[in-house]
Structure 1
Amino acid sequence: MKPLMYGYIRVASDAPDDEVDGIERQMRCFAEAEGFSYATTFYEYQNGSQAAFNELIQELRRAEARHVVMPSLEHLSSHRILCASMVERLETDADALVLTPGDT
């Protein structure tokens, strides 16, 4: 059985639906190529919100999953310190590893 991988995308208010769908397809392909079973994507729609991020952490704990993929760390935050804090929170609160397609 393949380990689960969850996706996370922060969606800009002006992002076209087909662009967001393409990003998710890329993350799904990445997960499959790396030997994971892609579970679902958590979408953050509101600028500054962490609601979907918090739901992601809860789901990682519930499913005992350890892997998250996102297009880039900028989807967490463009602010360097906040981004690092969010990665740390995924690592400490959910024991999760964050991957971006360019990592491998």
Structure 2
Amino acid sequence: MKPLMYGYLRAPDDVPDDELAHTVEELKRYAATEGFCYATTFFEYQDGSRAAFEELTAELKRAEARHVVVPSMDHLSSHRLLRSHMVERLELDANALVLTPGET
């Protein structure tokens, strides 16, 4: 069985649904190419919210999954320190690695 990979992205109101769907398809293709089973995508809809991030962290622990894919690290946060904290939290709390398409 392939290891699980979860997607995470911010989905502001000004981004069209078809663009979000395309982004999710790119994440799924990346997961398949890298040998993962893409489980689901966690969407952060409200600016400044971390509700989906908290759900992602809990799901990673529950499923004992170790991989998260984001379109870019800015989807975690555009703020460098907060982004670093979120990556660290995924590493420490869920033992997860954050990947982006284009890095291998």
CA RMSD of aligned residues (A): 0.4
In the alignment, which residue of structure 1 is the partner of 2:81?
81
Superposition deviation, residue 73 in structure 1: 0.5
For 1:53 and 1:9, how far apart are their aligned partners in 2? 9
- The unaligned stretches of length 5 or more in structure 1 are none
1:100 corresponds to: 100
Q: 1:102: Cα distance to partner?
A: 1.5
- What pairs up with 1:1-104 in 2 under 5 angstroms? 1-104=1-104
Alignment length, in residue pairs? 104
Letter in 2 for 1:9: L
1:12 Cα deviation (Å)?
1.6
Tell me, what secondary structure is at the counterpart of 1:101?
A: coil
Cα separation, 2, equivalents of 1:48 and 1:7: 18
Provide TM-score, normalisation by structure 1: 0.99
Q: Which runs of 4+ in 1 moved over 6 A?
A: none
Cα distance per residue 1:21-58 (max 9 Å; x no partner): 00000000000000000000000000000000000000
